[in-house]
Structure 1
Amino acid sequence: AKWQRLVSQGSANLDMFEHISLMTLDSLQKCVFSFDSNCQEKPSEYIAAILELSALVSKRQRHPILHVDLLYYLTANGRRFLRDCRLVHDFTDAVIQERRRTLPDHGVDDFLKAKAKTKTLDFIDVLLLSKDEDGKDLSDEDIRAEADTFMFEGHDTTASGLSWVLYNLAKHPEYQERCRQEVRELLRDREPQEIECSFLPQVYDPFRFDPENMKGRSPLAFIPFSVGPRNCIGQTFAMSEMKVALALTLLRFRVLPDDEEPRRTPELILRAEGGLWLRVEPLSAGPQ
């Protein structure tokens, strides 16, 4: 809706990272906390803290002397880091405490039945109902750590993936159109809202991920989520979110490359110096 408003006069030149990061944060707030942040349309103190913390971590990483906590917390950035951490932790703690108060009143079975009716079982609910390897409930600190990890690692990474996918599709319009047709085929006689979440080398080739081309391929050949017992906790969530967001975007818009080639900047994620700018224009025909 935001992009449709921005391109209502024709086309718009947009920084993918700026817009998509807010979208992924909005989605995570809803799925982790069942909280409608509406951060794409209005400022959010919590979201601002998340974004600043990500930037501060990246800056600190480039200065080995600041890896020492005692020195870092004496700096202006270190004090901002502590302030933002307190704000984020306070928000998560408040949600956990409020949610814990509902458990004893209803009991686990009643709680799950109530949630099933509204389909709003979120990440905090799952953690509150989980047990560790010894059968004990997770502590508030355990739950906060998992929720914060999901928020921090789930917004920038997914936003980067989506931004660079749109960049490559803008640079390769033949693949963009083929992808758009695939989405339309999927949605034949259905509404866009019905999309379900079930569905580098040196050359851009999306067909390398076709099922027949992946047979027998080692999981280590595709490393963004890693493998083994410490692989990404949000892998399925991230892939589902990217597929749905990409499909719904291509149904409504055509993305075109900017006049200038982006200068890639490897940080905690792969960014573009000065933003990843693409031209977005509404589709004149087809499903909207």
Structure 2
Amino acid sequence: HIVHFLCVSITLFNSNSSNILYEDCLIDFNFMVHNPWSLDVLLLICPSCLSSLVNQLVQTYKHSCSWFLGPFYCLVRLFHPDYNKPLLLASASITVKDELFYGLMRPWLGQGLLLSNGERWSRHRRLLTPAFHFDILKNYVVVFNHSTDIMHAKWRRLVAAGQKRLDMFDQISLMTLDSLLKCTFSYDSQCQEKSSEYITAIYELSTLVVKRQHYPPHHWDWLYWRSANGQRFRKACSVVHGFTTDIIQKRRTQLLHQGATKSQCVSEPGTRKKVTDFIDVLLLSKVGLLSIQSIQKYGNPMQYVFSGHDTTASGISWVLYNLAAHPKYQERCRDEIDSLLKGRETEEIQWDDLTNLPFTTMCIKESLRLHPPVVALSRQYTKDMPVPGGRTIPKGTISLLSIYGTHHNSEIWPNPEVYDPMRFDPEKSKGRSSYAFIPFSAGPRNCIGQNFAMAEMRVAIALTLRRFRVSLSGQNVRRLYTLILRAEGGLLLDIEPHNPTGPATPT
């Protein structure tokens, strides 16, 4: 408590001189005198209040503003496509992942694609790009179907036992983790059938990172690792790292027995057809990475698992929530899906089906606008960055590109809080900036797995609506800002089997 008091006192003491310095550097931007930086220092802004705060900023400042996070950090927050565009299009050679937001994740996520910069990032990107080629993604659709089948079989058992109210985040996180482990390592973890310490640890880490970001005294490692939260963070990291290391060790053993280029990966259910996985692509790449140790070094699979399963689970969960809140859209999606699958012997979404679900895709995109899984991106630049209105962001300044704010900007999206899939009708989308809708970021450092995520979301949503009706539980849903957009207390929906004669077990 004494150390805490001293740190806050030092922080308060330095505020005036620091604020004057930032005002000199960022005189071009609107300043938020009514939201003092000390609110962040004293933890008076809670994660569940941040969406309301961002909405207030967007309504007041329209495109951008400066924001103090203690006296040591002044950020520029941006929430307009015209301001996002030059920053997102900046060359990777001058774009840096800042230490304030991303550095705090390094003990967890390491030095792979998500957190690296410069030539290291370019090397990782070149190495990983083949793993997301459309020819590879086609194989993964089989896995998406199978993992969704397993989840639905479990749902039917729960409903039969009288439990129809489910937390979508809990259920879907396990399903997307199941898919990712199969696509990444050809590893069948059976995580959907048993409790997952890994899922609990991921949630713990994402919550603790946000808490640390908003509490400047804990930015000092020597203090944080001695705190209760720091000890919880270490423990959760140990769980996550142990989980991933164990999987990689098992994969190494499998490859040693079968040969690096002849591994028997997860096969399509009911066949012996091999599904190429993430490890295969790396092993067969021209880089010639023949050891699992090298794969860990140049393409950290742990980052891939995290960014792939948690963000996609958030996206799917919010889509189902929005469709539960708007039954007419849910029924229209169901009609589209039923028409697509009519006359087929099995309920399986195929690769070619993904482009034949236009309205369902519009509903997914509108949910990603209203509830983006990743709410913001932060960047620093090694040179001054001009933005519209004759303004300049000085080099080294942290630029917080608010995906949530951009998606809720009424200058771009009329009635932004209304769920309206018709916004994404091709005719209505004409003329809209491609930087107005950025759930997967944009530019050179966009999300490498966005096609993977959209394919999995389409498969999971289509099969879920084919087999179940979802409805609101009566819960007062509050958005919760962690690293991933969640719901405070979980996202509870009521489910009811729609097609009892359909397959209740994986096909």
2:188 is aligned to 36
> Structure 1: how far apart are the matches of 2:265 and 2:296?
27
Residue in 2 that maps onto 1:245: 460
1:85 is paired with a residue whose SS is: helix
Equivalent residue for 1:120? Answer: 275
Provide the rounded CA distance (Å) in 2 between the counterparts of 1:27 and 1:61: 31
Q: 1:168-222 CA distances to partner (integer Å, 9 max, x unpaired)?
A: 1111111000000111111111145420245134221223334444455443121
Please list, as runs of the form range in 1=range in 2, the aligned pairs for 1:1-288 lying within 5 A after superposition.
1-8=153-160, 12-96=164-248, 99=251, 110=262, 118-131=273-286, 139-143=294-298, 145=300, 147-198=301-352, 199=354, 200=369, 201=413, 202=416, 203-215=418-430, 217-283=432-498, 287=502
Distance in 2 (CA, whole Å) between partners of 1:151 and 1:54 is 14
TM-score, normalising length from structure 2? 0.50
Structure 1 unaligned segments of length 5 or more: list them.
none
Q: Structure 2: how far apart are the matches of 1:241 and 1:56?
A: 28
Change (3 A) 1:104 1:8: closer
Q: Secondary structure at the match of 2:442?
A: coil
Q: Secondary structure in 2 aligned to 1:194? A: coil
Q: Is the 8 A contact 2:282 2:289 kept in 1?
A: no
Alpha carbons of structure 1 residues 101 and 220: separation in structure 2 relative to 1, 3 Å: same
The number of equivalent residue pairs is: 285
What value does the CA root-mean-square deviation take over the aligned residues?
3.2
Structure 2 segments unaligned to the other structure (5+ residues): 1-152, 355-368, 370-412
Q: Secondary structure at the match of 1:280?
A: strand
Distance 1:96 1:131 in 2: 21
Q: CA deviation at 1:23?
A: 1.7
Given residue 248 of structure 1, which amino acid in structure 2 is its aligned partner? L
Q: What's the offset of the Cα at 1:72? A: 1.8
Structure number with bigger Rg: 2
Give secondary structure in 1 for the equivalent of 2:188: coil
Q: Secondary structure at the match of 1:231?
A: coil
Q: Identify if the C-alpha distance between structure 1 residues 82 and 144 changes in structure 2 by more than 3 Å, giving closer, same or farther.
A: farther
Distance in 2 (CA, whole Å) between partners of 1:282 and 1:166 is 15
Call closer, same or farther: CA 1:73–1:129 in 2, change over 3 Å. farther
Give CA-to-partner distance per residue, 1:226-284, whole Å, 9 cap, x none: 11121112211111111111111111111111223312222222222212121111226
CA contact (8 A) 1:89 1:144 kept: no
Equivalent AA in structure 2 for residue 130 of structure 1: S
Aligned to 2:37: none
Provide the secondary structure at the position in 2 that maps to 1:265.
strand
Relative to structure 1, the CA distance from residue 124 to residue 212 in structure 2 (aligned partners, 3 Å threshold; closer, same or farther) is farther
Measured in 2, the distance between the counterparts of 1:252 and 1:10 equals 17
Normalised TM-score (structure 1): 0.83
Q: Is the 8 A contact 1:96 1:124 kept in 2?
A: no
Letter in 2 for 1:129: L
Sequence identity (%):
58
Separation in 2, partners of 1:22, 1:253: 18
Output the CA distance in 2 between the equivalents of 1:92 and 1:250: 33
- Which structure features the higher share of helix residues? 1
On the 8 A contact 1:30/1:36 being kept in 2, the answer is yes
SS in 1 for 2:435: helix
CA contact (8 A) 1:208 1:214 kept: yes
- The CA distance in 2 between the partners of 1:107 and 1:129, in whole Å, is 12
After superposition, the C-alpha distances for 1:106-158 in whole angstroms (9 at most, x for unaligned) are 776555999996423211222333356xx87792433452x111111222211
| Partner Cα distance (1:112, 1:274) in 2 | 41
Structure-2 separation of matches of 1:65 and 1:24 = 36
Distance 1:285 1:154, change over 3 A: same
Deviation at residue 83 of structure 1 after TM alignment: 3.6
Q: Structure 1 CA distance, aligned partners of 2:251 and 2:162? A: 46
| 8 Å CA contact retained: 1:192, 1:248 | no
Q: Is the contact made by 1:195 and 1:244 (CA closer than 8 Å) also made in structure 2?
A: yes
Distance 1:230 1:21 in 2: 25
Moved more, 107-116 or 40-49: 107-116
